[in-house]
Structure 1
Amino acid sequence: MTAFLTMWDADARLGARTVLDGADVQVETGELVAVVGPNGAGKSSLIRAFAGLLPLTGGIVRLRGDDVAVLSARKRAERIAYLPQERRIAWNLPAIEIAALGAPFLSADKAVAAARAALDEVEAGHLTDRGVAEMSGGERARVLLARALAADAPGLLVDEPTAGLDPDAQLMVLERLQARARRGQAVLVSLHDLTLAARFADRVVVMHQAGVAADASPMAALSPETMARVFELTARWVDGPDGPLLAADRRQLAG
């Protein structure tokens, strides 16, 4: 495997706040990497920097070896598909048209075909002709994920795709992202659910105070020491029927 997404010593600010502080992250072709961390740790900023949407004040981000800062918007869109955390859709368009927006470089017929396949992939084919304003939040989330998958770009940046989904849908989303990685895409996904990250990711990047606190296999990255320092949780790995499971409890405060 070769590194498709590379970030070296990246610094970034939003106003007066530091959102990336010396971050080093790589995602290889065919790899699913989960980014986890407390609220405000820098997960979304990391993904936005890889998408070229957050200018750096130091360091560099590369997409397939090229500095993202010098790539045109079209070149970035050809290399990466991006699903932001924000799920607002301004117009009540049918799902098929929303999903087809993810394939802007295809002909109209091919874009619709790609959108239809992506909707089926996320088990939302029954929503094809329904307006997004007539959907639940979870249904809209599937349609927006389909929009990102329709591009079939070599890199996939996905910010909190499981937020607001029921447990079955959460598992489906991670299964689809894992399958995309196995097909050769470089997949970077931010998650709050540490159990999902541990179960599906090849590697876990733990963000803390705008920096990378750990970057390793799930069991190594989510060690008891890291869980205590970053999440203030008492955690341990236990044997489960399908492999190790992460068990965590809130730390008891003195007094």
Structure 2
Amino acid sequence: MDSLEFSHLHGGYDTQQIFKDLNLNLPKGAFIALTGPNGSGKSTLLKFIYKHLKPSEGKVLVEGKNVANFTQKELAKHLGFVAQNGKLDYAFSVREAVSMGRYAYDGEDNLHTIEQAIVECDIEHLKDKLVTELSGGELQRVLLARALCQQGKLLLLDEPVNHLDVKHQRSIMELLCRLVEKGYTVVCVLHDLLLVQIYSQIALVLQKGSVVAYGPTQTVLTEKLLQEVYDIQAHQVYDPTLDRMLWLPTYKVSSS
């Protein structure tokens, strides 16, 4: 059974219909990068999955079940969501913030689950610190640990490394890859095509609410697609560590 299925999905916002008859199956246990130009529908698609938006027609299935039939608490037991530029404004400790992921279990404070999420996200040294004192990279790990506390195997992330420096970007992305190795399905909105190529196994490219490419990342991203979707010229470079070719935008800088 697929992790996610979109069946004849129509919908968007009051003033704009984004998706029209979207049909798509996403597999379990993979790192799926959701990418495309601004306004292509990436974040909107996530909103249909966690019920922030309701389709005008069609349905979204998680583990074969229509999300429309889930209460928010029930859905929270199947998937975790980490928002773009997520933040916590109140002075909770890191452990308190992580434990909020247990809300779907009627406040059951499962110590083992909380501690396991803290260890998984490598924030043991931070658990007594206030979230208002954390760096951006540290906070992202806390928000991810909170999502893991929900104990669903599907993780949705909207630009999780946005505004992070290179070191913290790599740290978060490597953590997500380890979770995939442990059986999680990661659906991650990414703008950075280099990160898409390095870390994802499957790429889903959207443009104006339509799927223009879907499949193994190294097959999907081509010179033709980058030209047609992003209107950029690109060239390939060999990365000796990864032992494969990567696409990079071709820049033309004036000498004057």
Query: What TM-score does the superposition give when structure 1 sets the normalisation length?
Result: 0.89
4+ aligned runs moved over 4 Å, structure 1: 106-109
- Offset, 1:251: 8.0
- Cross-structure match for 2:82: 83
- Cross-structure match for 2:71: 72
Counterpart code for 1:29: K
SS of 1:8's equivalent in the other structure is strand
- Offset, 1:175: 1.7
- Offset, 1:75: 1.9
Cα deviation, 1:75-107, whole Å, max 9, x if unaligned, reads 211111111224132311111111111133287
User: 1:51 aligned to 2:50?
Assistant: yes
- Cross-structure match for 2:166: 167
For 1:250 and 1:37, locate their aligned partners in 2 and report how far apart those are by CA, in whole Å: 19
Figure out how many residues of one structure are paired with residues of the other and give that number: 250
- CA pair 109-83 structure 1, distance change in 2 beyond 3 A: same
For 1:216 and 1:236, locate their aligned partners in 2 and report how far apart those are by CA, in whole Å: 21
- Cross-structure match for 2:213: 214
Cα pair 2:102 2:109 within 8 Å, conserved: no
Cα pair 1:41 1:207 within 8 Å, conserved: yes
For 2:252 and 2:9, locate their aligned partners in 1 and report how far apart those are by CA, in whole Å: 32
Counterpart code for 1:244: M
For 1:34 and 1:149, locate their aligned partners in 2 and report how far apart those are by CA, in whole Å: 19
Structure 1: gaps spanning 5 or more residues? none
- Cross-structure match for 1:6: 5
Cα pair 1:236 1:246 within 8 Å, conserved: yes
- Offset, 1:140: 1.8
- CA pair 68-107 structure 1, distance change in 2 beyond 3 A: closer
- Offset, 1:55: 0.6
SS of 2:77's equivalent in the other structure is helix
- Cross-structure match for 2:138: 139
Cα pair 1:27 1:186 within 8 Å, conserved: no
Q: How does 1:1-255 map to 2 (within 5 A)?
A: 2-104=1-103, 105=105, 108-110=108-110, 112-241=111-240, 242=242, 243-249=244-250
- CA pair 106-70 structure 1, distance change in 2 beyond 3 A: closer
Cα deviation, 1:32-53, whole Å, max 9, x if unaligned, reads 1110112221111111111122
SS of 1:102's equivalent in the other structure is helix
Query: What TM-score does the superposition give when structure 2 sets the normalisation length?
Result: 0.89
Query: Percent sequence identity over matched residues?
Result: 27
- CA pair 106-244 structure 1, distance change in 2 beyond 3 A: farther
Counterpart code for 1:247: L
Greater mean deviation of Cα atoms: 222-231 or 118-127: 118-127
SS of 2:102's equivalent in the other structure is coil
Cα deviation, 1:25-74, whole Å, max 9, x if unaligned, reads 32212111110112221111111111122111122210111111122222
